[in-house]
Structure 1
Amino acid sequence: MIANFLIGLREGLEAVLIVVLLLAYLRKTNRQHLVPRIMVGVAVAVVVSLAFGALLTFGPRGLTFEAQEAIGGSLSIIAVGFVTWMIFWMARTSRSLASNLHHQVDAAADGSAWVLVVVAALSVGREGLETALFIWAAARATGETWQPIVGAAAGLVIAVVVGTLIHRGALRVNLSVFFTWTAAALIIVAAGVLAYGIHDLQEARFLPGLNNLAFDVSASIPPSSWYGTLLKGIFNFSPATTWLQAIAWVAYVVPVSFLYVRGLRGRSRSTGSVKTAAHA
């Protein structure tokens, strides 16, 4: 539940900030009459994201167990790919996001009425589809039912409230720090989803090694215990983990964390050089 809250909060805040940037630019350029087009685009993105989530939830039912596990495992791995791309994309383009959106608004404002609707729908919809897929995959990994939905919904609600307060100038948030730490946490969450996706593919008999366990600490950390449930809900930790799952977890966390930290250091050095040049 906590992991899904984090996903909902981060992804929701990204989507809300895009809307805030679009609305602020329209207000700054005296184009308030275009605001309804932005709202229509946002509404379309929300409906499509909810429909996608419903399709993921109810679509595989009625299939054989192996088919369900194969679909679930494949989509979990795809979800990890999307969230990894999102982490690095946001870190790389966060500084130019506003200017890119402004250029898109300028181009859309000179076109037909539907162009700006499409801009808003695509900008927000990308985040919505990624959120739906990753929350669905995380919910499968924890084996819970309504708890992930509640956690994600709470995160989305808080994101909307924070975005509204930022838009009205009533709240200032260090978004750089927020996205830096949540990205680091999501790397661990994504690794757990990846490991569970591997397990699904093993149960579908698509991958070998289902009975070859790297460790089994079920006696020390019972899955039904409160701490077992907590570890499962936050980190997707499985007390009985196969060798392939363990290898996949390490093979994901180590290089992704290294590249992410290296990217952060590179941007810090770049910022320091710019500031030094500005004062020179």
Structure 2
Amino acid sequence: MLATYLIGLREGLEAGLIVGILVAYLAKLGRRDLLGRLWIGIGLAIAVALGVGAALTWGPYAMTFQAQEILGGVLSIVAVAMVTWMTFWMGSHGASLSKELRSSVDAAIDRSWFALVVLGAVSVGREGIETALFVWANAAGGSDPLLATLGAVLGILTAVVISWGISRGLVRFNLGRFFTWTGLFLIFVAAGVLAYGIGDLQEASVIPGWGTHAYSLVAIVPPGSWYGTVLAGIFNFSPEPTWAQVFAWVAYVVITVPLYLLMLRRRSRARAAAAAVPAAAAAAAPPAAPVAPVSGGRVAERIETP
């Protein structure tokens, strides 16, 4: 439940920030008359995400056992790929997200009335489909899919409240730190989903080696224990993984974690360099004349991801 809660919270915040940027920019342009088109697109995106979730939940029941395992394994791998790509994309493009979205709004306004509907649907739909797919993949390997789904719903509702509070200036917290740490956490969750997907493909005889365990931790982590249940629910932990599952988990973590930390380091250096330029210019500039305060001024705040 904790894993799906954080998935829902993170993806919901990303979608909420995108919606906040789009709405705020249209208001800034004085085009509130176009908000209806934007909300139509957002509504379509939510409907598609719910449809994907429903299809993943009830669709496989008409399939054979082997077909279900193949579908589950393939979709688990796809979910890992989508979450990994989105984690790195947000880490490298988050600072310019607001600018990119404003440019997209300008282009959509110049095209046609339907272009803004498409922009809202695509911007939010990507987050919704990714959430539905990853939550399903994580819940499929957990012991209680109902709790996993409930965790995702609670995470999304929390994200809605936080996004509303940010847009109203009522909530302030370090979004950069939040996305950084949740991104690292989701890498380990994704590693477990990947191992589970490999296990599904082994059960379907697509990948050999099912039934041959690399090691057994049943004596240390019994499957029925509360901590075994927690580990299985959050990280898809298996006390008796196959060699293919172990190799997939280790390879994913060994490759992804260093690349993620390297990206964070480069981003930190880029920010430090960008901050040093105006500081040096300000130090070299002559002192400015004092300016009388202006009463009644208002500061427009914009919503941006780190």
TM class, shorter-length? over 0.9
**1: distance between equivalents of 2:114 and 2:278?**
42
d(CA) in 2 for partners of 1:114, 1:52: 23
Residue ranges of structure 2 left out of the alignment (5+ in a row) = 281-306
- What amino acid sits opposite 1:214 in the alignment? A
Who is 1:32 aligned against? 32
Partner of residue 47, structure 2 = 47
> Which range is displaced more, 157-166 or 218-227?
218-227
Of structures 1 and 2, the larger Rg is shown by: 2
CA distance in 1, matches of 2:64, 2:25: 51
Letter of the 1:203 partner, please give it: E
Letter of the aligned partner of 1:38 in structure 2?
L
Cross-structure match for 2:254: 254
Alignment of 1:221-260 (within 5 A): 221-260=221-260
CA drift at 1:38: 1.4
Q: Which runs of structure 2 are paired with 1:40-79 in the superposition (5 Å)?
A: 40-79=40-79
Distance 2:246 2:136 in 1: 22
Q: What SS does the corresponding residue of 2:95 show, helix, strand or coil?
A: coil
Q: Does 1:85 align with 2:85?
A: yes
Could you tell me how far apart the structure 1 residues matched to 2:91 and 2:161 are?
Answer: 23
Instruction: Calculate the aligned-residue CA RMSD, in Å.
Output: 0.9
Q: Distance in 2 between matches of 1:92 and 1:180?
A: 11
Counterpart CA distance in 1 for 2:142 and 2:198 is: 14
- C-alpha separation in 2, matches of 1:36 and 1:220: 57
Q: What are the residue-to-residue correspondences of 1:58-207 with 2, within 5 Å?
A: 58-207=58-207
Q: Corresponding residue for 1:3?
A: 3
3-state secondary structure, aligned to 2:238: coil
Amino acid at match of 1:66: Q
What whole-Å deviation, never above 9, does each CA across 1:4-31 have from its counterpart, x for those lacking one? Answer: 0010000111011100011111111211
- Measured after TM superposition, the shift of residue 110 of structure 1 is 2.2
TM-score by length of 2: 0.90
For 1:153 and 1:24, locate their aligned partners in 2 and report how far apart those are by CA, in whole Å: 26
- Residue 22 (str. 1) matches residue 22 (str. 2): yes
Structure 1: segments with no counterpart, 5+ residues: none
- The separation in 2 between residues aligned to 1:216 and 1:42, in whole angstroms, is 47
Give the secondary structure class of the aligned counterpart of 1:61. Answer: helix
Question: Alpha-carbon deviation of 1:171?
Answer: 1.1
Report whether the alignment pairs 1:264 with 2:264.
yes
CA–CA separation in structure 2 for the residues paired with 1:35 and 1:248: 45
Deviations 1:139-183 (A, max 9, x none): 112142211110000000000000111111111121111100000
Partner Cα separation in structure 1 for residue 279 and residue 64 of structure 2: 66
Of the structure 1 ranges 181-190 and 30-39, higher mean CA displacement relative to structure 2 is found in 30-39
Counterpart CA distance in 2 for 1:125 and 1:173 is: 26
One-letter code aligned to 1:150 = L
Judge conservation of contact 2:135–2:148 (CA < 8 Å) in 1: yes
Contact conserved, 2:2 with 2:151, CA < 8 A, in 1?
yes
Given that residues 4 and 148 in structure 2 are in contact (C-alpha distance below 8 angstroms), is that contact kept between their aligned partners in structure 1?
Answer: yes
TM-score by length of 1: 0.98
Q: In structure 1, give the amino acid aligned to 2:102.
A: H
